Amino acid sequence: MAGKNRKYTREFKVNVVQAYESGKSVAELTREYDIHANLVYKWTQEYRNNPSGSFRGSGSVSEVSTSQDRRILELEQMIGRMTMEVDFLKKALKHAESALAAKSPPAADGQN
């Protein structure tokens, strides 16, 4: 996550809140949107308290000034999504391996 102060549009914040409320985890959202977890909780609280009046600031999506900065942001988001996919596949592989091990009979000759 970038260490600079960024401002976000109302639409961006609402998208994050809706993704969170639809079941995405905070970890997924922080990687996908490159934001701090506390923002997800803060924005969700604010939106739940006043959906129509929340996020009335004058923010922009981010302070991305050059095409290189935009590309870096896109690549960081892609890395976040790919990291989630790898984690999911690792868990699926462990589950499949344990299911396969539970079904296979033990070796009869004492060798592994």
**pLDDT tens profile 72-96:** 888 888 888 898 899 999 999 999 9
For residues 46-64, give the mean pLDDT: 71
* Cα–Cα distance, 33 to 89 (Å, whole number): 21
Looking at per-residue pLDDT, the higher value among 57 and 64 belongs to 57
Return the number of other C-beta atoms located less than 10 Å from residue 16's C-beta: 23
For residues 8-19, give the mean pLDDT: 90
Q: Which class for 13: exposed (0-12), middle (13-18), buried (19 or more C-beta within 10 A)? A: buried
Name which of 22-26, 37-41, 65-69 the model is least confident about: 65-69
Looking at per-residue pLDDT, the higher value among 104 and 48 belongs to 48
Reported as half-sphere exposure (CB side, CA atoms, 13 A), residue 47 has a value of 18
